[in-house]
Amino acid sequence: MMYDVGATRRVAPTRSTVPKGPPPGSIGAIVGQFKSAATKRINEMRATPGAPVWQRNYFEHVIRNADDLAEIQEYIAGNPCKWMEDPENRMHKL
């Protein structure tokens, strides 16, 4: 015996076939390819397959003038000196 419960037959939606990520040939795609290749090589050298290498959610900034450039250069030059103070540095906790 069959009962009508008001249900209809529907097919579950499938994933979109629209590609995600930056368009081929763009700067974003080129950087992504570099990071992918570098990650594979680094993880081969360290024997750590699949381990993350790159920082997530990085900050992009367009350098607009000489003052901007000088500030960024100063940050880059001075940043390694602060590594021992960084709470994310495992050596900091020892």
pLDDT in tens, the chain (94 residues): 666 666 666 766 666 667 788 899 998 899 889 999 999 999 999 999 999 998 876 667 789 999 999 999 999 999 888 888 888 787 766 5
Whether 77 maps to a domain, the answer reads yes
Q: Give the largest Cα separation in the chain, rounded.
A: 82
* Six token digits for residue 31: 């950087």
Domain that holds residue 41: 23-57
Whether 7 maps to a domain, the answer reads no
> What is the Cα–Cα distance from 92 to 94, expressed in whole angstroms?
6
Whether 34 maps to a domain, the answer reads yes
User: Rounded to a whole number, what is the distance in angstroms from the first to the last CA of the chain?
Assistant: 72
Whether 14 maps to a domain, the answer reads no
Q: Are residues 49 and 67 in the same domain?
A: no
pTM for this structure? 0.48
Cβ–Cβ < 8 Å for 66, 81 = no
Whether 12 maps to a domain, the answer reads no
The domain total for the chain is 2
